[in-house]
A and B are shown apart, each in its own frame.
Chain A
């Protein structure tokens, strides 16, 4: 495996070109239809009445006033549809005895989180639906709520009293049992006597995916198929699950994910709102639309992360790690959602990261609480694991008094050792940690910044400097169906593509992945253009409509290129194979003498040849085809990789900490990622920039906070702090290239890499800046207050005050607040 920093760009090839994204014209100028833009004749509008309480019995719902309001068509409660509404699916029961409460789209007699739907209004306009929602009178008997994750794990208060416990599933992996490594308890016991044991407890705060386009659904029941437009990442899975849950024939359902404005895992879900609108449209026989408000989105669209991690790292006196034990508590919120239980399990394979740990154990308890349900959020399980281990490796270095790279080099898999089977049982196919690290240090100016750090420390500068290291890897490109099956995941991980050769020489490529901002149309066009030898502009990528792209498993887990892109390659290759006999026939040559290159079929050793477009037209006309050859070049392929793939990289962050205020400021961020071969460098940069900022935001800004009553305090963007471009700096990025060996393009996923890598780099840097003051941890997000408190030595880390600053107080100057209820 060679590690090079530059791939020589072949100007005749599309792959490797930094093509501007072809979809951006319409996305940026708004010349497209998002779900909420869709207007159908006779369409009705839906508004939700949501519970203000985290846990309560519904004692009565009076909907009479709402029903009588202007232009209200119907008002339904959970009780009204209890028999027919079905339950939201959980596609990943992680253990056979997993406990999962029934997940009704509309609560029937008890609400289990603040934001749960208790009644639904259908009216002729969205405004009238909203007005009527204010008129529904719900009586609640408030119940004690299970809110704190650790307390919930002790079953002090039950989130679902009928289940008798909050503990949903206990999932474990032990290397001694699995035969992939030694006994971790022995390693820890030994290290306690003659080595080093690092024990830490880290918090993964609750996050909100906060995609730009709110979730929206339009359902049209008029016609033979029931059509659902939804702002979703997973149209194909949604279609399957709508059928499975409602009993409607799968062939009678069409799902369309039109242009979708971001997801980050937050739209890897089937939602109550989708099931409710589907039910309403069928009941009423009319199209219905529901679009959530931002407040509803923050409160009721699924959240992410939310774990406590108890970690024990054993090492010998030289810093060689001998074992790692992980005990996780994972907050599932009110329900076990689509793949929610599986998210921490995805982390099980990543705590050992790039290292050769001889013994490893992972235990995870998933816990139900009365908060919004959690599920996948960019990285899903892997950021949590990467944070845990990369924080620990810095702690080990600090304990030994050595540079953080010293312990990493001592423990990482060396370039010659690939392919390498890890203690968690995965086979890493390729990588070169040495090369990525060398390049990242060079980009960063590592030695100079270390020198500056020492100087500031010596002079007692009030602004201290810290350097954080994160040498991450991850498993992505979901992926091998067999492996997913062995983990009790409900679906496979293959992907499908079709290539249609149109008579005019244009090419339609159907893909089963469902982009929502990633740039698939551009990157996939580049792949198809190279493979078929046609112009980039002549390729059209079609996706997101189950009637067009009829087969697929959608977009998440950095899978679209490495699985979906490879399916396109395979389908294109079939087109070429189908075209060869036709070309041979038209050129009056033997098939064996036909060569295909750069879009041209030629007869070996002659200058005779035909372009693929000419073959396409001849095939369309079908006037002169060889006997027994079907008049079509169109081809399908379904690709199921044999392994995940394993991007990696070395990320370096320098943070300045103002010790007078606790303010933290990013000084420099440099990273060298190895994501195998790159199809479009510009798109890769975009994915990395966005990913980095999302990971940095976990370290510094974002946190979903509930108060003691279970109300989401960070319920608007005033209090849920999202960064903007104004809060970021320039990133210095480069790549090394160790191609993946399990797809022909040699690509690895990049969608989640930045997010996974950056969080520990930032926190390590902050801790490094103040470690000399006796600090070895600061809880995320590292707010100035937390940093300052840590410096003062008061309640290190510390909980966030559960109160929001009111900027929009109803008590206006000179005005009484009026009757508008605070729903």
Chain B
């Protein structure tokens, strides 16, 4: 379908983009890879008057190492993140998740920052970055600020990014040597997860020394299964021990009901997938 008419801006710096956002306010919309925005425009669910394309801002692309963190530029396409050796070494959970996101074409166009800013609770990247405790760098008229993953996801399609702000990069603390697994439950290959579990663990001397578990599509935002993480700490990575911890995964969650499964089914899936993800992450 054909979107309503709009004006198109393609700034080449973050400052210019922020200035444009400030100028047009509510009437403007940021375009990253367009993989979520364009369907919205084409189905005429939204009709912004101005589109601000971030595609020409080189500074927003790329992946680098910065001390204890890996820094991923917001405009880095999924396909680049999925193949990046730094990410694989220090934040393997992200590599695991991103290769299962959508299909090849969408991974080439869609961006890391765009997906996180879109904040679809079924999106595959929220749970891993939440589990890894990432920091979100956000630029606005009064400079940049940093928001912790715990505070970034506000609600369904809603984040801490303000109306006149742009997500510029995501700083992921290094989890070097941690085992990781993203267990995505789908009916067909190229589908948003019905439920997915992002698990990463540090195994030391036969026990789980630290564990991080993020959950996709178990509520209106990505969630962290803290009780599972705690219960796993100090346990051996055995089916028996992990099963007990994983049984708590869905406690207190209110997952959605839809064509692919109702809420209670999702809760059940979360426990099974948590067990499987943790065991796989621990190499068991």
Binding site for B on A (CB under 8 A): 126-127, 130-131, 134, 293, 295, 660-661, 663, 700-701, 703, 705, 713-714, 718-719, 721-724, 726-727, 783-785, 788-789, 800-823
A807 — which chain B residues lie within 8 A by C-beta?
36, 120, 122, 192
When A785-B261, A813-B161 are in contact, do A823 and B120 touch as well, CB less than 8 Å?
no
Residues B272 and A660 in contact, CB atoms below 8 Å apart: yes
Q: Is the CB of B36 within 8 A of A808?
A: yes
> Contacts A713-B259, A721-B188, A807-B192 hold; do A814 and B165 have CB atoms under 8 A apart?
yes
Q: In the complex, are the beta carbons of B187 and A812 less than 8 A apart? A: no
Instruction: Tell me if B284 is interfacial: C-beta within 8 Å of chain A.
Output: no
- Residue in contact with A822 in the complex, picked from B45, B217, B273, CB distance below 8 Å: B45
B192 touches A808 (CB 8 A): no
Q: Could you tell me if B188 and A718 are in contact, using CB atoms closer than 8 angstroms?
A: no
Q: How far is the CB of B39 from chain A (nearest CB, A)?
A: 5
Min Cβ gap A213→B in Å is: 16
* Shortest Cβ distance from residue B8 to the other chain A in the assembled complex, whole angstroms: 15
Residue of B45, B159, B259 near A820 (CB, 8 A) is: B45
- Which of the candidate stretches B61-69, B72-80, B206-214, B262-270 sits at the interface with the other chain? B262-270
CB–CB A813/B185 < 8 A: no
A783:B261 contact, CB within 8 angstroms: yes
A125 to B45, CA, bound (A): 21
Pairs A–B under 8 Å by Cβ, sample size 17: A661-B272, A719-B259, A724-B103, A726-B188, A801-B258, A801-B259, A808-B39, A808-B40, A809-B120, A811-B156, A813-B161, A818-B27, A818-B47, A818-B49, A820-B4, A821-B44, A823-B44
Q: Does A813 lie within 8 Å of B118, measured CB to CB?
A: yes
The answer on a CB contact under 8 Å between B2 and A817 is no
The answer on a CB contact under 8 Å between B157 and A813 is yes
| B5 CB contact (under 8 Å) in A127, A815, A822 | A127
Docked CA distance A380–B183 (Å): 39
Contacts of A809 in B (CB 8 A): 40, 45, 120, 156-157
Residues of the B chain whose Cβ atoms lie less than 8 Å from the Cβ of A703: 259
**Known: A126-B2, A816-B26. Contact between A811 and B158, CB under 8 A?**
yes
| Interchain CB contact under 8 A, A814 and B161 | yes
B191 interfacial contact with A, CB 8 Å? yes
Across the interface, do B40 and A810 meet the contact criterion of CB distance under 8 Å?
Answer: yes
The interface residues of chain A lying within 8 Å CB-to-CB of B262 are 785, 801
State A350–B29 Cα separation when bound (angstroms): 57
**B176 interfacial contact with A, CB 8 Å:** no
Chain B 144-161 interface 0/1 with A at a Cβ cutoff of 8 Å (1 = within):
000000000000111101
Are A705 and B259 closer than 8 Å at their CB atoms?
A: yes
Q: Is B163 an interface residue when CB atoms closer than 8 A count as contact?
A: yes
Q: Does B244 contact A (CB under 8 A)?
A: no
A131 with B189: CB separation less than 8 A: no
Q: Mark B106-144, 1 if CB is under 8 A from A, else 0.
A: 000000000001111010000000000000000000000
**Are the CB atoms of A788 and B46 closer together than 8 Å?**
no
Inter-chain contact A813/B265, CB cutoff 8 Å: no
**Cβ–Cβ < 8 Å partners of A713 in chain B:** 259
Q: Are B259 and A714 in contact (CB under 8 A)?
A: yes
Given A811-B157, A813-B159: A822 and B44 interface contact (C-beta under 8 Å): yes
Q: Return the chain A residue nearest B46 by Cβ.
A: A810
Smallest CB gap from B38: residue in A: A808
Residues of B within 8 A of A813 (CB): 117-119, 157-159, 161
Spell out B's residues near A (CB within 8 Å). 1-2, 4-5, 26-27, 29, 36-37, 39-40, 43-49, 103, 117-120, 122, 156-159, 161-163, 165, 185, 187-192, 194, 217, 256-262, 265, 268-269, 272-273
The answer to whether A293 and B1 have CB atoms under 8 Å apart is yes
Give A800 to B260 CA distance when docked, in angstroms: 8
B149 CB, min distance to chain A CBs, angstroms: 15
| B4 engages A131 (CB within 8 Å) | yes
Residue of A nearest to B257 (CB): A801
Contact present for A661 and B185 (CB under 8 Å): yes
Give me 5 other A-B pairs in contact (C-beta within 8 A), A784-B185, A818-B26 excluded: A126-B2, A783-B187, A785-B261, A805-B192, A813-B117
Residue of B nearest to A813 (CB): B159
Name the distance in Å between A812's Cβ and chain B's nearest Cβ.
6
B259, A727: Cβ atoms closer than 8 Å = no
List the A residue with the shortest CB-CB distance to B154. Answer: A813
Q: Which 5 A-B pairs have the closest CB atoms?
A: A820-B47, A726-B189, A810-B45, A814-B163, A785-B261
CB–CB B47/A783 < 8 A:
no
Distance in angstroms between the alpha carbons of A810 and B162 in the assembled complex: 17
Contact B5 A131, beta carbon cutoff 8 Å: yes
How close is A480's CB to chain B, nearest CB, in angstroms? 41
Bound-state CA distance A801–B266 (Å) is: 13
Which residues of A are found within 8 Å of B117, using beta-carbon distances? 813
Residue in B closest to A717 when the chains form the complex, CB atoms: B190
B residues near A815, Cβ cutoff 8 Å: 26, 29, 46, 48, 163
Cross-chain contact B261 with A801 (CB below 8 angstroms): yes
Chain A residue with Cβ nearest B40 = A808
Closest A residue by C-beta to B159: A813
Closest to A719 in B: B259
Which B residues lie within 8 Å of A726 (CB)? Answer: 103, 188-190
Known: A127-B2, A785-B260, A804-B258. A817 touches B46 (CB 8 A): yes
A822, B43: Cα distance in complex, Å? 8
Interface centre among A661, A816, A822 (most CB of B within 10 A): A661
Say yes or no: B187 contacts A701, CB within 8 Å. yes
Question: What separation, in Å, do the CA atoms of A131 and B47 have in the docked complex?
Answer: 11
* A788 and chain B: residue at smallest CB distance: B265
Closest chain B residue, CB of each to CB of A789 = B265
A150 to chain B, nearest CB (A): 21
CA distance A158 to B144 in the complex (A): 62
Partner of B269, one of A661, A806, A814: A661
